[in-house]
Structure 1
Amino acid sequence: MTSPVSHIPAATAEDAIAHFSRSFRFETDCSDVYHSYQVGNADFVLADARGPALYRRGHLPQAISLPHATIDEKLLARFPPDTLFVVYCAGPHCNGARHAALALSHLGYAVKEMTGGITGWLDEGFALEGETTAAHSCGC
């Protein structure tokens, strides 16, 4: 008898390499973002996809407020076409970052989602900037 884990066979090593390699083209993690800022090598714009009130309550250092529902050509006119955006929202329970990533992609920008969002950032022990620490609500 097989377990629910092995009931469907695992991918071949070749397929796994292709899948996981491809996923890194779409996402990054909190530690990589933090490290990039620590060494002064942030070659991306970090964007908080939640609403302005939650951004004010607490956001990642260096992040701009870019609520996903407001993303349009006019708002992004200040960014060169080759800008790489890294978007985040509250965390795994929130899809605001994916909405933002889709909107940015529709406008031709390169984009990656920071997995874990604020929840992941705090789990790593990194600090937020803003008024309070109760800022990991979705509010999307």
Structure 2
Amino acid sequence: MKNAVTASPAAPSTDAFIHFSKQFSFETDCWDTHEALQSESPGFVLLDVRNAELFANGHVPGAIHLPHGKIVKSKMAQWPQNTLFVVYCAGPHCNGAAKAAIRLAKLERPVKLMTGGVTGWLDEGFPLNQIRK
């Protein structure tokens, strides 16, 4: 009996391998980001691309606040051209990280999106930093 899952057959294994392998070129997850941030040199700059109030209320430790609308060539000049950026926003319900990734890609900057954003970070049990007012 067919249902919504089985109505379309799964892709051939070789196609599935290519598809799912390629995803890692575009995104990373909260767990891998957290683990990398524990080292002295994680190999990327983590950007929180939400607004200032949300950033102040809680952000990933080590993240730099740069709202997606402010990602412009002059701001990015402080980092070498080959710097990898990992961007995140509030979570799966927010497209701010994708907007930031597009801006960085247009500036020819390497970029990955941290899937899950703050929601995913908290779901993994990781703490947020807050800016005291």
With normalisation by structure 1, the TM-score equals: 0.91
* 1:6 partner amino acid: T
Code of the aligned partner of 1:126: F
Unaligned runs of 5+ in 2: none
Gaps of 5+ in 1: 133-140
Residue matched to 2:118: 118
Total equivalences in the alignment: 132
Aligned-pair identity in percent equals 52
Decide which structure has greater helix share: 2
TM-score (norm 2): 0.96
SS of 1:94's equivalent in the other structure is coil
Question: Aligned partners of 1:62 and 1:8: how far apart in 2?
Answer: 43
Bigger CA drift: 22-31 or 50-59?
50-59
- Structure 1 residues 43-62: aligned runs within 5 Å: 43-62=43-62
* Runs of 4 or more consecutive aligned structure 1 residues displaced over 4 Å after TM superposition: none
Query: What is the alpha-carbon root mean square deviation over aligned residues?
Result: 1.1
**3-state SS of 2:112 partner:** strand
Q: Give the 5 Å matches for 1:1-140.
A: 1-131=1-131
| Whole-Å separation in 2 of the counterparts to 1:131 and 1:84 | 25
- 1:138 counterpart residue number: none
- Paired with 2:41 and 2:20, the residues of 1 have a C-alpha distance of 24
